Amino acid sequence: MLQINEILYRAGGRIIFDRATVTVNKGERAGLIGRNGSGKTTLLKLIAGELALDGGDIILPRGLRTGTVAQEAPSGPRSLIDTVLAADTERAALLAEAERADERPGDPARIAEIHERLATIGAESAPARAAQILAGLGFDEAAQQRPCGEFSGGWRMRVALAALLFSEPDLLLLDEPTNHLDLEAVLWLEGYLKTYPGTLILVSHDRDLLNGVARRILHLEGNKIVAYNGNYDRFERTRAERLEHQAALRSKQLAERRHIQAFVDRFRYKASKARQAQSRIKALERMEPVTAMIESRTISFTFPKPIELSPPIVTMEDASAGYDPATPVLRNLNLRLDMDDRIALLGANGNGKSTFSRLLAGRLKPLSGRLTKSSKLSVGYFAQDQAEELDLTETPLTLMSRALPDQPPSKVRAHLGRFGFGEHHAMLETGRLSGGEKARLLFALMTRHAPQLLLLDEPTNHLDMDARESLIQAINDFEGAVVIVTHDPHVIELTADRLWLVADGTVKSYDGDMDDYRALLLAQRRAERGRAKVEKTDANGNGAARVSRKDQRRASAEARAAVTHLRKAAREAEARVEKLNREKAKFEARLADPAIYNGSTAKLMDLQIKFGEVKAALAKAEDAWLTAQAAVEEDGAS
């Protein structure tokens, strides 16, 4: 599918790739990882032909369709659903040609060819597939009919992602696709990519996404591309073993070199040993040095220790929040926060997570009810759009000095140093900092007064894998309260003790873990698909597609066939359960006979092993039967 052979690429006088080589096979799902600045985005652009190599080759099969997310978000009056449908250029062109042919009939053979091709590519089912992708990325049916121009940049980037997924290129190149998504959309995307029919190369710092989707990891290090089989967790284990093995080999070689060098130094000028010394000198010259693999990690950072306050630090009683008293976003808020709380907010974008964060931060006043805070409470608020407010012409030291006007320069530098800003980086213009460095600068600014409460709204955007692990460590070491909104389930699972669900116009404690929440989302999507089937009629003549009697008969026949198939599977599963129950009863009867224990020990052990196998098979068969029976009941109910 894709061959990268000895490629060389320079950018700004710096070598990014130096004789890098790797092969990606057809149908593979590969995760492309590496520290910020290692060349991940550059490699995708080289594969897509957007950049030119300085040397080497990138070979793709002729006619291969390669797809990346459009750099400019779609806009204008076209609806979301039409924007996504237009991404399949072949379908759009064929439909346009078919429409012209219907108006002015010409070559019957060509018309037949068009309709045959439309049937082959599934043109009739395309609107349903496009709607399903948009729904998975957070757009309900009403939103799908609205013009792209009505949505913000982040939401329009979701439309661009939906269009790319709908077009199903043979080689799908995704560069941090979760940056504009909420947790719910990320979980949907993970499920979608797991079954993607083409070849996938995915750049991501989301550990759970890489674990769920990738079956191979391409790691950029030392200007090379090193391939590892398995997902991200397996990559970490394999690389750790490799580092350990490399260190052991190097240690052994250094000891051998020291031993040979000691012999040379002692005997090279003695006539009797000169020949042996010379041979050892040649051996040293021939000895290929084992490279020291230094695992450079992102600079760690820590949040300052706050002054402890008596609980609770925040209470809400029947509070409501929003921007218009007539239509509050959130109602009936009855919550409390203590110093030791670690809370993650769940809920789809648009449900009010940011509104709730602004309420806690004091940027919004409650519309009604009571919100009480400790008089000495200090709040640190990390907003996901805050980086846009930084003055890119100033240095971190200047920005921090302005934020701490009463502190001496030594204190200002010490606080920046807490977040990895040494002498050099503290004096760089902010515009020259990487995305991760800007995020750390924001952490430094928001915690300059040692707040007791941290509000973190998508803090992992632009952080690489190591920086995310540093953030997790910093949160876990922090001695105040944390409320976090993030699309990274790994961060939630390692930092949050409690989950609050923002849904249905309020915020409530969620009694479950992330696995339970994933199951809840899947159940909701099944229910939504069921409602969509029910609503797909035009009883009131309101513009929905009419269903002809022929279509109704076909749908009924397909439904009956589906139920028949499910019932057959359930009957077969039930028959297997009955058969295994009979075998189990026979084994129990034999093992109940005292004579069996007076005979051969080997025969007894063999009987017990077979009995265990039958019991295990029975348990599995019972599960299969229950699953099949539930499917029959569910399909019959629908």
Query: The domain 314-520: what is its CATH number?
Result: 3.40.50.300
Please state at what angle helix 465-477 crosses helix 435-446, rounded to 10 degrees. Answer: 10
SS3 315: strand
Q: How much is the pLDDT for 73?
A: 80
Average pLDDT of every residue of the chain: 82
What 142-146 contacts at long range (C-beta under 8 Å, 24+ apart), as own/partner pairs, is 143/80, 144/79, 144/80, 144/81, 145/79, 145/80, 145/81, 146/79, 146/80
Judged against a pLDDT cut of 60, whether residue 136 lies above it is answered with yes
- Position 564 confidence tier, pLDDT thresholds 50, 70, 90: low
Class of the CATH-defined domain 550-637: mainly alpha
Least confident of 151-160, 196-205, 254-263: 254-263
Does residue 100 or residue 394 have the better pLDDT? 394
Predicted confidence at residue 387, as pLDDT, reads: 65
Strand residues in 54-142 grouped as ranges (E): 55-59, 66-68
What are phi and psi for residue 19, nearest 5 degrees?
55, 45
CATH class label, 2-235: alpha beta
The whole-model pTM stands at 0.68
Instruction: Copy the structure tokens of residue 350.
Output: 């648009």
Task: Give the whole-angstrom CA distance, residue 521 versus residue 499.
Answer: 15
3-state secondary structure of 89: helix
Residue 310 is predicted with a pLDDT of: 93
For the ranges 123-132, 327-336, 340-349, 497-506, the lowest mean pLDDT is seen at 123-132
In this predicted structure, the answer to whether residue 561 has a pLDDT above a threshold of 70 is no
pLDDT confidence of residue 283: 67
Does the pLDDT of residue 166 top 80, yes or no? yes
Taking residues 167-171, what's their average pLDDT? 91
Please give the pLDDT value at position 383: 83
Contact 213, 200 (CB under 8 A): yes
Q: Is-same-fold flag (314-520; 550-637)?
A: no
| pLDDT at site 584 | 80
Instruction: For residues 262-278, give the mean pLDDT.
Output: 66
The predicted pLDDT at position 479 comes to 93
Residue 539 pLDDT more than 80?
no
What is residue 108's three-state secondary structure? helix
Task: Give the mean pLDDT of 389-416.
Answer: 90
**3-state SS, residue 312:** coil
pLDDT of the residue at 537: 47
Where are the domains positioned within the chain? 2-235, 236-286, 314-520, 550-637
Helix axes 274-286, 232-267, angle to 10 degrees: 160
**Measuring CA to CA, which residue among 359, 372, 362, 349 is closest to residue 328?**
359
What is the full DSSP assignment across 439-503? HHHHHHHHTTT--SEEEEESTTTT--HHHHHHHHHHHHH-SSEEEEE-S-HHHHHHH-SEEEEEE
**Residue 87: both structure tokens together:** 């991404």
Helix (H) or strand (E) holding 24: strand 14-24
Summarize pLDDT for 5-47 with one digit per residue, the tens: 999 999 878 899 999 999 999 999 999 998 877 889 999 999 9
Which percentage of the chain shows pLDDT scores above 70?
82
